Amino acid sequence: MCDQTFMAATFGPCDSCGKASPLMNIYIKSEAINYCSFCVEMMACQQLQKGETLQSLKKESDSLKKKLEEERGKLNDVELHQVAEKVEVLSSLSIKTRRVLKGHGNKVLCVDWCKDKRRLVSSSQDGKAIVWDAFTLNKVSEISLSVFYFDSNAQNGLDNKCSVVPLSLDKNENLAAKKKSVAMHTNYVSGCTFTNSDMQLLTSSGDGTCALWDVESGQLLQSFHGHTADVLSLDLAPSETGNTFVSGGCDMKANVWDMRSGQNIQSFESHESDINCVRYYPSGDAFASASDDATCRFYDLRADREVAVYQKDSVIFGASSVDFSLSGRLLFAGYNDYTINVWDVLKGTRVSILFGHENRVSRVRVSPDGTALCSASWDNTLRIWA
Amino acid sequence: MSTNNNIAQARKLVEQLRIEAGIERIKVSKAAADLMSYCDQHARSDPLLVGVPTSENPFKDKKPCIIL
């Protein structure tokens, strides 16, 4: 019988592999490293072969990228607009400004419709959020906050937080007092949306991540890493059982994520500049994006590729926002040249231009029942088109 | 240590690309056909596309009524 004596003074989980084993107490540049003997050897080898490992990984990633392109290319048997040739050409639309909502003292940056299809909430650089009744043009309430962007009833500010303000029909309620801070990022919050259950909030941030929060406790449930620059926009997939969302950012990429695992499922990189807005097609099988490169693009998720580009030589200003009509046939896009272009999603042609705003269009939103389009602009007004 | 970070980053990229390369895809012709049929099915109920009579659209101004 012989006693096996280990030289190690400690036993515990290895800092590198996590397995419990005798640890080698070594110091690198006076920093204590508690690795098991296997990991110490691996570390020593990696340093020596650092060049090789990095190189072999780079080779593998390059070959995988090529393989991805090939796989996607194999399925590109026809273009969307070619298939759409059989579809009838759209007759000219009679969409005009029906209402102009004045009341903000500065650029209107964001707007969204309430589920009751008649109330709208908008936020402006003047630091106020106003709830409007779109039919009567009455201002239902006005909330003073350091708000900049919001979606539904949540407001984002440049204080890196996202707050939820409950809206009620009681005019006497002090809404600002009920404001509850939910999300906290390390940079500005660019976009947010409630999930299907209304109990969770999804946010996108200038810190390059997206995050899922529990509204009641304010706790971070999941974070989504993958973008290499500011994330400017996100949209939740429309299905009721939906667990995915798409995000777009300054790294020119649009990523699709699984909300439960935090995994980046698909990634699309065809824009040539910042993606300002992403929006799902009503069926949930595709999404559109608006970018500073003056194009809007349409991506099909099941074919895993871009299937249409909405551009014209005469359109040279960046697009800030997009939204689909109820059937998904029309794509409304707001641009920095003060116009809204209406595109035929299937044929790829422009159907109409909506003039009226006197400064950049910052956001366009179709009402939940599809009867009207609301646009927010830097000219301090909102317009309702129908 | 920055060298280990580079390796870790490269590994993450390879992992991500492996996942993306492995997903199932359908042909564009099939995807396009599905998009077209969705548009077709819902076109009739799209107010901005087909237009809605003035009497039903709350946003279009109605002619005022005169009580005689």
Cα–Cα distances (Å) from A256 to A42, A267, A269, B38, in that order, read 35, 6, 12, 22
Angle (deg, nearest 10), helices B2-21 and A50-74:
20
Vertex B32: Cα angle to B29 and B34 (nearest 5): 110
pLDDT at A148: 39
Q: Kindly state whether residue B53 falls inside one of the protein's structural domains.
A: no
Q: Kindly state whether residue B62 falls inside one of the protein's structural domains.
A: no
- Contact assessment for residue A140 and residue A179, using Cβ atoms and an 8 Å cutoff: no
Give the chain A residue whose CA is nearest to the CA of B44: A327
Q: Which residues does residue A102 pair with via DSSP β-bridges, in sequence order?
A: A381
Residue with tokens 């298939």: A83
Angle (deg, nearest 10), helices A50-74 and A37-48:
80
**Residue B11: domain span:** 3-45
State how far the Cα of A107 lies from the Cα of A359, in Å rounded to an integer. Answer: 9
Q: Find the CB nearest B26 among A61, A80, A302.
A: A302
Q: Which residues of A touch B59 (CB under 8 A)?
A: 98-99, 134-135, 371-372, 384, 386
Tens-place pLDDT, residues A23-35:
877 776 666 777 7
- pLDDT of residue A146 exceeding 70: no
pLDDT at B59: 77
pLDDT at A347: 94
Q: Kindly state whether residue B55 falls inside one of the protein's structural domains.
A: no
Tens-place pLDDT, residues A309-345:
999 999 999 999 999 999 999 999 999 999 999 999 9
Neighbours of A266 (CB within 10 A): 18
Q: Kindly state whether residue B56 falls inside one of the protein's structural domains.
A: no
Q: Where residue A359 falls among pLDDT bands split at 50, 70, 90?
A: very high
Q: Kindly state whether residue B57 falls inside one of the protein's structural domains.
A: no
How high is the mean pLDDT of chain A?
84
pLDDT at B68: 63
pLDDT at A50: 43
pLDDT at A32: 73
> A15 — contact with chain B (CB < 8 Å)?
no
- pLDDT of residue A125 exceeding 60: yes
> B6 — contact with chain A (CB < 8 Å)?
yes
Give the chain A residue whose CA is nearest to the CA of B57: A371
Q: Which residues of B touch A47 (CB under 8 A)?
A: 3
The enclosing domain of B9 has a CATH number of: 4.10.260.10
Q: Which residues of B touch A77 (CB under 8 A)?
A: 27-29
3-state secondary structure of A72: helix
- pLDDT of residue A304 exceeding 90: yes
Residue B56 C-alpha, separation from nearest chain A C-alpha, in angstroms = 10
Neighbours of B45 (CB within 10 A): 12
Q: Kindly state whether residue B68 falls inside one of the protein's structural domains.
A: no
| ipTM surpasses 0.90 | no
pLDDT at A48: 46
3-state secondary structure of A84: helix
- Contact assessment for residue A220 and residue A260, using Cβ atoms and an 8 Å cutoff: no
3-state secondary structure of A175: helix
Q: In total, how many domains does chain B have?
A: 1
User: Is B17 close to A68, i.e. CB distance below 8 A?
Assistant: yes
Nearest to A188 by CA among A226, A228, A161: A161
User: Is B48 close to A371, i.e. CB distance below 8 A?
Assistant: yes
Label each residue of A186-204 as H, E or C.
Answer: CCCEEEEEECCCCCEEEEE
Q: How many beta-carbon pairs under 8 angstroms link A with B?
A: 172
Q: What percent of chain A has pLDDT over 90?
A: 46
State how far the Cα of A179 lies from the Cα of A181, in Å rounded to an integer. Answer: 7
Tens-place pLDDT, residues A171-229:
555 555 566 777 778 888 888 888 877 788 889 988 999 999 988 888 899 999 999 99
**Which amino acid appears at position A254 of this protein?**
A
Residue A91: both structure tokens together: 């007759």
Q: Kindly state whether residue B13 falls inside one of the protein's structural domains.
A: yes
Give the chain B residue whose CA is nearest to the CA of A267: B20
Neighbours of A321 (CB within 10 A): 24
- pLDDT of residue A270 exceeding 90: yes
- Contact assessment for residue A240 and residue A196, using Cβ atoms and an 8 Å cutoff: yes
Question: Who has greater pLDDT, B3 or A107?
Answer: A107
- Give the DSSP H/E element, type plus range, for residue A202: strand A200-205
pLDDT at A352: 93
- Give me the DSSP letters along B10-53: HHHHHHHHHHHHTS----HHHHHHHHHHHHHHHHTT-HHHH---
- Side-by-side strand order, sheet with A161-164: A149-151, A154-156, A161-164, A180-184
Question: Who has greater pLDDT, A294 or A19?
Answer: A294
Q: Which residues of A touch B60 (CB under 8 A)?
A: 98, 386
Q: Counting Cβ atoms within 10 Å, is residue A78 exposed (0-12), middle (13-18) or buried (19+)?
A: middle
